[in-house]
Structure 1
Amino acid sequence: MKELILYSGFAGITVFIGGLLANYFNHHIKESPVKYEITHTMMSFGAGIILSALALVLIPKGLEKLELLPFTLSFLFGALLFLVIDQYLSKKGNQTATLLAMLMDFIPESIALGAVFAIEPKMATLLALFIGLQNLPEAFNSFRDLVQSGFAVKKTLVIFFCLSFFGIAGALIGHFLLSDYPNLTAHLMTFASGGILYLLIQDIIPESKLDKKYLTSLGAIIGFLVGVIGEKLI
């Protein structure tokens, strides 16, 4: 149990660390074209990691356990629900797509971490490392989005600190409640996949692009490669 809390705690604390790094970057690095390009590259890098989690972890686990019709319904429900949420937030002027994508990725993976911990501890250890690495750039981008949408810096850091504990909560839920219900866990992952894919295509990828700049595209490729390496190690 201590190891599960430790691993899931590491996976979650990178959310807060990413927020701290983004706050430092915002206030201690002078405005310049290079800073602007680095920011968009980080956004693109995060999109690549999210995409790798979608393609290598969430969807394959859903396909492994679910028949075609249940899988399709869960996937479409996730996409449609986050379409509605995104439309609502857009009308209010909030820039929270990256935060939503991070949570849609972070929570089901944390639950999966808890569910597999008792069966495959080594896989759970590497999965925790993988989750922690992808949370870092996602939190970096989410922090900047929230501050730009009007959230105060201190309030945003408090939110990120609280979100850091979602990893532990999710892992405990998966370990005690869902380890005997693989189909329910698969539905959760598939639902998250639909929402993540919608947010990537609608909001995150378009915002990461810069005209006549190619480093951002390379950032997405490197981010996806990080996910591939993590999945290969697992």
Structure 2
Amino acid sequence: MSQAILWGLVAASPLFVGAVLALLRTWPPRWLGIVLGFGAGALMASIAFELWQEGLNIAGPIPLITGVVAGALAYFTADRMLDARAAKSKDRSAGAPLALGALLDGIPEQLVLGIGLASGEPVSIALVVAIVVSNLPESIGSAADLLEGGMTKARVMLIWAGIAVICAVATVAGFALASVTGDAFRSAASGFAAGALLVMLVDSMVPDAQQKAKTVTGLATVLGFALAAGLSLA
């Protein structure tokens, strides 16, 4: 259990650290777009080489695809609810969808991490670095957009601290539930994270990066994908 707590904190900490970095300085829109584009590429690699491939290897296509559809629908529904709430308050920040995506990705991803630890699977340093590479830009971009939208620093920190804590607890929960879950659950959890991320990338993260960084967005995305893919395959 101590291992699950340790690795849960390590995997979730980039979410909080990214928010801190966004508060320490004002990020010019172009640089923020480059960070978002880089993070989007890293998340694409995570979907392709970790979530999808691992889910497929564990239990085959049916649980994986079921999870993908569920994750996509969960993000889509939750994001529409955010839109409806924002329309009433006239306070819709571009950072909110990224925070939602981080939550819906982080919970199942770290559940799988906890289950793997309980099963005796080693945690690779490459995987930890890949998590940092993908999560850090996501939280920097979201926190910066939330601040730009007028949210107070205290509230931004509270949101991202809450997301980080929930994701860390998910690792411990996965460790505790390992004895009553099977390969199909792990595969579906990986698919859920992949589905939620795919919708978030297309609907929010990539368009936001393109709007801010313009012509260099594609290059930043490819660099993020290449680095994260290399780490995943290491």
TM over 0.5: yes
**Offset at 1:85?**
2.0
1:20 is matched with 20
2:98 is matched with 98
Change (3 A) 1:25 1:178: same
Q: Which blocks of at least 5 consecutive residues in structure 1 are unaligned?
A: 30-34
CA RMSD of aligned residues (A): 2.3
1:88 is matched with 81
1:67-122 deviation digits (Å, cap 9, x = unpaired): 44443333222222322222222231243111122223322222222122242224
**Inter-partner Cα distance in structure 1 for 2:37 and 2:175:** 33
**Inter-partner Cα distance in structure 1 for 2:224 and 2:112:** 21
1:189 is matched with 190
Q: Which blocks of at least 5 consecutive residues in structure 2 are unaligned?
A: 87-91
Whether 1:109 and 2:102 are equivalent positions in the alignment is no
Deviation larger for 183-192 or 92-101: 92-101
Change (3 A) 1:86 1:136: same
**Offset at 1:197?**
0.7
Give the counterpart letter for 1:12 in structure 2: A
Is the contact made by 1:53 and 1:105 (CA closer than 8 Å) also made in structure 2?
Answer: no
**Inter-partner Cα distance in structure 2 for 1:51 and 1:169:** 25
Is the contact made by 2:49 and 2:233 (CA closer than 8 Å) also made in structure 1?
Answer: no
1:51-72 deviation digits (Å, cap 9, x = unpaired): 1111111111222234444433
1:135 is matched with 135
Aligned length: 225
Change (3 A) 1:70 1:164: closer
Deviation larger for 80-89 or 185-194: 80-89
* TM-score, scaled to structure 2: 0.85
Of residues 50, 53, 57, the one that matches 1:60 is 53
Give the counterpart letter for 2:157 in structure 1: L
1:32 is matched with none
* TM-score, scaled to structure 1: 0.85
Change (3 A) 1:8 1:68: closer
**Identity within the alignment, %:** 26
Change (3 A) 1:221 1:77: same
1:139-181 deviation digits (Å, cap 9, x = unpaired): 1011123223442111111222232223431211111203652
Question: In the TM superposition, what are the counterparts of 1:28-177 in structure 2 within 5 Å?
Answer: 35-91=28-84, 92=86, 93-95=92-94, 96-118=96-118, 119-123=120-124, 125-177=125-177
Is the contact made by 1:113 and 1:127 (CA closer than 8 Å) also made in structure 2?
Answer: no
Is the contact made by 1:178 and 1:185 (CA closer than 8 Å) also made in structure 2?
Answer: no
Is the contact made by 1:104 and 1:195 (CA closer than 8 Å) also made in structure 2?
Answer: yes
Change (3 A) 1:204 1:211: closer
Is the contact made by 1:11 and 1:129 (CA closer than 8 Å) also made in structure 2?
Answer: no
Deviation larger for 210-219 or 152-161: 210-219
2:25 match: secondary structure: helix
**Inter-partner Cα distance in structure 2 for 1:62 and 1:122:** 17
Whether 1:217 and 2:218 are equivalent positions in the alignment is yes
Deviation larger for 13-22 or 180-189: 180-189
